[in-house]
Amino acid sequence: MSKKGSVLLGAALIFGLLAGCAGGNDNEGGASPSADTGGSASAPAGASAGSAAPSSPDKPAEITVMLPLNTAETPPDTIKSEVEKLTNTKLTYQFFPADTYEEKLNASLATGSLADATYLKNQATFIQMKSAIRDGQFWEIGPYMDQFPNLSKLKKQVLDNTKVDGKLYSLYVGRPLARQGLVYRKDWADKLGLKAPETVDDVVAMAKAFTEQDPDGDGKPNTIGLTDRNDLIYGAFKTLASWMGTPNGWGEKDGQLQPDFAFPQYIASMDVLKQLRDAKEMNQDFAATSKTDQIKLFTGGQAGLYIGSMADVDSLNKDLIKNVPTAVLDTQALIKGPDGIQATWAIPGYNNVVLFPKSAVKDEAELKQVLAFFDKMMTPEVANMMYWGVEGTHYTVEDGKAKASDNQELTEREVKGFRDSVIGEPETNGMYEGYFTLPARIHGEELTAENEKIAVNDPTAALDSATYTEQGEELQKLITDASYQYMYGKIDKAGFDKAVEQWKSRGGDKIIEEFNAAYKK
């Protein structure tokens, strides 16, 4: 394997991408109810990788699948057995804990032991894998897509966002473009006579009122406005920054693409969070707060504002009413910035991708066999089985939509591990949309659709920069650290500007140059 192929798959934090937020990266959830990710997983029940075994029309095709595990336990074979029947395959799933998945990918790449179908962890891992892709270690699948009627339905724009040097190597796990918004305590707002926020100033005012006006009525100064965590992307910052008019990752300035932190709106967005922190209207240690602890502040009844995926409202509500039975939540988006314009940031339309290593898939015949399995996965029957589970056990159908079972623990244990691998989205694979009863979630789904109309894309999503791939994680840490130091009041604008200059001198100028060269092609 070449030196390029042995690239270290670090957990890169890259603006405009992420997260995902999927497995282990605070992703935005699926096309329907999002499930919390994160937390440690148990030891995987994996198997050694091997080639896709040849099959006849009657003999099941043997296929290995490697993917990150975002639950505490490896799922039983309940769903796998049904999928095997529906697709005439014999499947071997290799689940590895999401927290250490990059390490497993790196080791398997180095030893040539990847599975026939190898999922990455998130968009950041995909960027790190591009060197190995260019090195010829994975099959280019673009020339075969037209041979598979269901794979051909995948969205062209999203596929384009996953291409490497204009060639398609992967299938994508689809996600709605813009689920980010506000979840807030409507019962507190109603008590204090506050309407749903329409501007950033309204959000700030609500945070102040939730902190100072005793919204829980216990006569004690024990509430705060906003709860946030140590994530500049899927925490509050990036969504707030997009409301303020900050570009999504990169934007045009002075006739060329520039990183978002080079724009004055980025500074203004940091000023908003600094103002909230200085006034003690949010958790003071947010830069060191995990998502779990962030959520506990909200579900424990201490905080009243949560900026993130609006799909999180289901789980937030479920845990909150255990502690505060009278609590009522609502969602809100379409927030106007200082210029009166509504904007929000968009992901590139996918959360993860699956690649097909040449070390496992030996020839074109085997590749077509594996792609045929994924083509079957994109039928409604198989997609519903893998995403929702067994009808009557894990979900029921109401008004043509899937209503999740009340036994969320069973679904988490048996279905979640497979849900994260479903290719496409309801528009392309025909699976059910979710049926919701919580008014705040219904409102959130409506707002998600409206968000797409004002969503701002990252212009570099489909572009490549060798320096960005090689140094992006290290350089981004400079900006991340400086951003937190600024919001904590440890450095001023001059100090932040100094960090930006360091970013430029250590490779950032080269990244700007390379992205702009690719942008102009």
Instruction: State whether residue 225 is helix, strand or coil.
Output: strand
pLDDT tens, residue by residue, 76-113: 999 999 999 999 999 999 999 998 999 999 999 999 99
pLDDT of residue 54: 52
**Residue 408 CA from chain centroid, whole number:** 21
* 475-489 mean pLDDT: 97
- Looking from the CA of 80 toward its CB, the CA atoms found within 13 Å total 17
The pLDDT of residue 161 is above 60: yes
| Sign of the CA dihedral with 285 first, then 288, 294, and 296 last | negative
Single-letter code of the amino acid located at 123: Q
Distance (Å, whole) CA 443 – CA 502: 44
SS3 track for 139-186: CCCHHHHHHCCCHHHCCHHHHHHCCECCECCCEEEECCCCCEEEEEEH
All domains in the chain, ordered by first residue: 55-176+349-431 (3.40.190.10), 180-347+457-520 (3.40.190.10)
Residue 124 binned pLDDT confidence (cut-offs 50, 70, 90): confident
Position 510 scores a pLDDT of 98
Quote the pLDDT of residue 154: 97
Average pLDDT over residues 373-386: 98
Size of the chain in residues? 521
Question: pLDDT tens-digit profile of 216-245?
Answer: 999 999 999 999 999 999 999 999 999 999
Helix 313-323 / helix 439-454 crossing angle, nearest 10 deg: 150
- Cα 280–Cα 284–Cα 285 angle in degrees, nearest 5: 175
Torsion angles phi and psi, residue 330, rounded to 5: -145, 165
For the stretch 190-200, pLDDT in tens is 999 999 999 99
Look at residue 16 in the predicted model and tell me its pLDDT: 37
DSSP 51: P
Per-residue pLDDT band for 23 (boundaries 50, 70, 90) equals very low
The reported pLDDT for the residue numbered 12 is 36
Least confident of 11-25, 170-184, 281-295: 11-25
CB atoms within 10 A of CB 472: 23
The total of other beta-carbon atoms located within 10 Å of residue 33's CB is 22
Closest to 154 measured CA to CA, from 432, 431, 428? 428
Helices (H), 311-438: 313-323, 364-377, 380-387, 408-414, 416-419, 426-429
Please give the average per-residue pLDDT across 324-328, as a whole number: 98
Tokens of 240: 């707030």
Single out the residue of 215, 198, 203 nearest to residue 303, CA to CA: 215
Q: Which residue has the higher pLDDT, 236 or 55?
A: 236
Contact 355, 421 (CB under 8 A): no
pLDDT at 457 over 60: yes
Cα(125)–Cα(173) distance, integer angstroms: 14
Confidence of residue 469 (pLDDT cuts 50, 70, 90): confident
* Per-residue pLDDT tens over the stretch 237-270: 999 999 999 999 999 999 999 999 999 999 999 9
Contacts (Cβ under 8 Å, ≥6 apart) of 229: 235, 286, 289, 290, 291, 293, 294
What's the mean pLDDT when you consider all of the chain?
90
